[in-house]
Amino acid sequence: MGFEFWMFLSLVYVSHFHFHGLSLAEKAPYYSFVHEAAMAPEVSFYDYIIIGGGTAGCPLAATLSESANVLVLERGGSPYENPTKPDKGNFFPNLLDVSPSSYAQEFTSEDGVYNARARVLGGGSVINAGFYSHAEPEFLKQAGLNEALVNYSYQWVEKKIAFEPPMLQWQSALRDGLLEAGVLPNNGFTFDHIYGTKIGGTIFDGDDHRHTAADLLEYANPYRIKVYLHATVEKIIFETKVFSRTRAQGVVFEDELGKKHWALLTKDYKSEVILSAGALGSPQLLMLSGIGPSQQLKKFGIKVVKDQPMVGQGLVDNPLNVLLVPSPSPVELSLVSFVGITRFGSYIEACSGISFTPSWSRSVAKALAAILNQTEQSSTKLFQEGILNPESLLDTRIRGGIIFEKVKDPISSGYLELRNMNPRDNPKVTFNYFQAPEDLMKCVHGVKIAIDAVYSKSFSNFRYEILSAKALLELIVNLPLNQRPRHLTSAFSLEKFCMDTVMTIWHYHGGCRLGKVVDRDYKVLGVEALRIVDGSTFTSSPGTNPQATVMMLGRYMGLKILQERYFGKYRKK
Question: Looking at residue 356, what is its pLDDT?
Answer: 72
Give CA–CA dist 93/346, Å, rounded. Answer: 27
**Residue 419, marked binder:** no
Question: Looking at residue 402, what is its pLDDT?
Answer: 95
Give CA–CA dist 192/197, Å, rounded. Answer: 12
Question: Looking at residue 490, what is its pLDDT?
Answer: 85
Per-residue DSSP letter, 479 = S
The angle at the Cα of 286, spanning 290 to 319, to the nearest 5 degrees, equals: 140
- List, for residues 430-468, the tens digit of each pLDDT value: 999 999 999 999 999 999 999 999 999 999 999 988 889
**Residue 6, marked binder:** no
Residue 190, helix vs strand vs coil: coil
* Active-site residue flag, 507: yes
Q: If you classify domain 33-161+210-315+507-566 with CATH, what class do you get?
A: alpha beta
H helical segments located in 200-277: none
Mean predicted confidence (pLDDT) in 37-55: 98
Q: Write down the catalytic residue from 16, 230, 261, 507.
A: 507
Q: With pLDDT > 70 as the criterion, what percentage of the chain qualifies? A: 87
- List, for residues 515-563, the tens digit of each pLDDT value: 999 999 999 999 999 999 999 999 999 999 999 999 999 999 999 999 9
Directed axis angle between helix 437-454 and helix 469-477, to 10°? 120
**Residue 546, marked binder:** yes
- List, for residues 329-352, the tens digit of each pLDDT value: 999 999 999 999 999 999 999 999
43: left (phi over 0), alpha (psi -120 to 50) or beta: beta
**Residue 520, marked binder:** no
Give CA–CA dist 472/464, Å, rounded. Answer: 11
Give CA–CA dist 557/144, Å, rounded. Answer: 12
Are 132 and 202 in contact by the 8 Å Cβ rule? The answer is yes
**Residue 120, marked binder:** yes
Q: Is the pLDDT of residue 327 over 70?
A: yes
Under the banding of pLDDT at 50, 70 and 90, the label for residue 311 is very high
CATH hierarchy code of domain 169-199+319-407+434-501: 3.30.410.40
Per-residue DSSP letter, 166 = P
Is the alpha carbon torsion for 358, 364, 370, 373 positive or negative? negative
274 φ, ψ (degrees, to nearest 5)? -125, 120
Is the alpha carbon torsion for 183, 187, 190, 192 positive or negative? negative
Give CA–CA dist 349/549, Å, rounded. Answer: 19
How many beta carbons lie within 10 A of that of residue 69, not counting itself? 20
List the chain domain ranges: 33-161+210-315+507-566, 169-199+319-407+434-501
**Residue 506, marked binder:** yes
Q: With pLDDT > 90 as the criterion, what percentage of the chain qualifies? A: 79
Nearest to 257 by CA among 289, 227, 232: 232
Is the alpha carbon torsion for 195, 198, 204, 205 positive or negative? negative
Give CA–CA dist 105/380, Å, rounded. Answer: 42
Are 62 and 24 in contact by the 8 Å Cβ rule? The answer is no
- List, for residues 238-264, the tens digit of each pLDDT value: 998 777 899 999 999 999 999 999 999
**Residue 233, marked binder:** yes
Under the banding of pLDDT at 50, 70 and 90, the label for residue 488 is confident
Q: Is the pLDDT of residue 111 over 80?
A: yes
Cα distances (angstroms) measured from residue 27 to each of 87, 213, 229? 18, 14, 18
Give CA–CA dist 154/162, Å, rounded. Answer: 10
Is the alpha carbon torsion for 307, 311, 313, 314 positive or negative? positive
- List, for residues 494-509, the tens digit of each pLDDT value: 999 999 999 999 999 9
H helical segments located in 260-418: 278-288, 294-299, 358-373, 381-388
H helical segments located in 480-546: 494-500
Q: How large is the greatest C-alpha to C-alpha distance in the chain, in angstroms? A: 82
Give CA–CA dist 547/133, Å, rounded. Answer: 8
Give CA–CA dist 453/447, Å, rounded. Answer: 10
Amino acid identity at 67: S
**Residue 52, marked binder:** no
**Residue 507, marked binder:** yes
Give CA–CA dist 189/338, Å, rounded. Answer: 9
